[in-house]
Structure 1
Amino acid sequence: MKKKAEIAVVWGEGHGSTPISAFDAALVHAGLANFNLIILSSVIPPGAAVREVGRFPGEGVGMVLPVVLARSVGPGYQASGLGWVTSPQGGLLFESCGGTHEIVREDILKGLTDMMKRRDWEFSPISLRIQEATSEMSCALVAAVFLIPHLQFPGWFWMSR
């Protein structure tokens, strides 16, 4: 029996002396700092379960993790967030960053609503997670980590004939 894919939603805030340093600190907080991240767009495979876990529990220095990433880095207050919906046909993720908590929230709700209108699918209610950070140089990060079952990775790639 084929194991279903899972998506772990994680988040973190970071503070540092440079933007990259603050980003690294947020990755540490989210449990992603020692991985190589591959950035994905916004489509959830059919049957995938989305779980909010806070901090990614996996280990694997240098291993590759596919993610949808929302991050805001800079001086002072930062906010970023992810929203998602699922359906039997598949699901959607929408990332937003910058502005206030409320601006990020509204952007996610509007964006996902637009995306849902373009598909004739039966969607779940919208779920979302927003992270904030404030310091001299800060990073707010939310990521959806795609946990791909062993040996199913090649089936996830589109290939030309």
Structure 2
Amino acid sequence: MHTSAVNDEIPVVKATGRGSTTLSAFHDALVQADLAVYNLVRLSSVIPPGTTVDATGKAPVPQGAWGDRMYVVYADQYATLPGEQAWAGIGWVQRLDGQGGLFVEHEGTSEGYVTQAIKDSLRDLVRGHEEAFTDPDFVVHGVVCESDPVCAMVIAPYESASWAGAARG
């Protein structure tokens, strides 16, 4: 029985999707990120102790079975008119003592806006404790709408968990 797949490295994956609706564009982005078969459970942005963040593409995306829960932090942005841009990004800092860190996620219509929002948020979150954290890092990804709706996504999947044994109401 599958119960959980936990990584000690949290991958940060970027993807874009297209579809006839924003929902199908979102789903296509999940397909591109190899995460379309899961029920996403969106987390607040605390990185657990003992984990690191990997944006190099070397850390594997957690695996599970169809319909499993996938715990994630993500940013997604949509564009629906030709010429519009969609940008999404995740930034993070990690504690120097290895006891976790913080993610932030932002969306917007330009790369510059999203990048600056990530930097500003991380600066604010560690204010007064800067010496305890790494320098900020981030992944920003965008797409331009050509005709059909598009979705830009950056997603950090933490772990998958089966519904087997889960409390059901």
Give the letter aligned to residue 7 of structure 1: I
Q: C-alpha displacement at 1:59, in angstroms? A: 4.6
The Cα offsets for residues 116-136 of structure 1, whole Å up to 9 and x where unpaired, read as: 116576111111001111223
1:45 and 2:48 matched: yes
1:36 and 2:48 matched: no
Q: C-alpha displacement at 1:21, in angstroms? A: 0.6
Q: C-alpha displacement at 1:99, in angstroms? A: 2.1
SS of alignment partner, residue 132 of structure 2: coil
**TM-score of the superposition, structure 1-length normalised?**
0.82
**Which of these residues, 75, 79, 94, is aligned with residue 86 of structure 1?**
94
Q: Indicate the larger mover: 35-44 or 67-76.
A: 67-76
Structure-2 separation of matches of 1:120 and 1:12 = 31
- 1:5-154 to structure 2, matched below 5 A, reads 5-52=8-55, 53=57, 56=61, 58-75=63-80, 76-87=84-95, 88=97, 89-117=99-127, 119=129, 122-135=132-145, 136=147, 137-147=149-159
Q: C-alpha displacement at 1:148, in angstroms? A: 7.0
Task: Please say if residues 79 and 144 of structure 2, whose CA atoms lie closer than 8 Å, have aligned partners that are also in contact.
Answer: no
Q: C-alpha displacement at 1:10, in angstroms? A: 1.1
Give the letter aligned to residue 36 of structure 1: N
Q: Indicate the larger mover: 120-129 or 73-82.
A: 120-129
Cα gap change, 1:4/1:118 in structure 2, threshold over 3 Å: closer, same or farther?
Answer: farther
Task: Please say if residues 10 and 143 of structure 1, whose CA atoms lie closer than 8 Å, have aligned partners that are also in contact.
Answer: yes
Give the letter aligned to residue 67 of structure 1: V
Q: C-alpha displacement at 1:58, in angstroms? A: 2.8
Higher strand proportion:
1
Query: Matched residue pairs, number?
Result: 149
Give the letter aligned to residue 109 of structure 2: G
Match of 1:159 in 2: none
Cα gap change, 1:21/1:46 in structure 2, threshold over 3 Å: closer, same or farther?
Answer: same
Give the letter aligned to residue 145 of structure 1: P
Query: Unmatched 5+ residue regions in structure 1?
Result: 150-161
Query: Unmatched 5+ residue regions in structure 2?
Result: 1-5, 162-169
**TM-score of the superposition, structure 2-length normalised?**
0.79
Structure-2 separation of matches of 1:13 and 1:148 = 22
Task: Please say if residues 105 and 130 of structure 1, whose CA atoms lie closer than 8 Å, have aligned partners that are also in contact.
Answer: yes
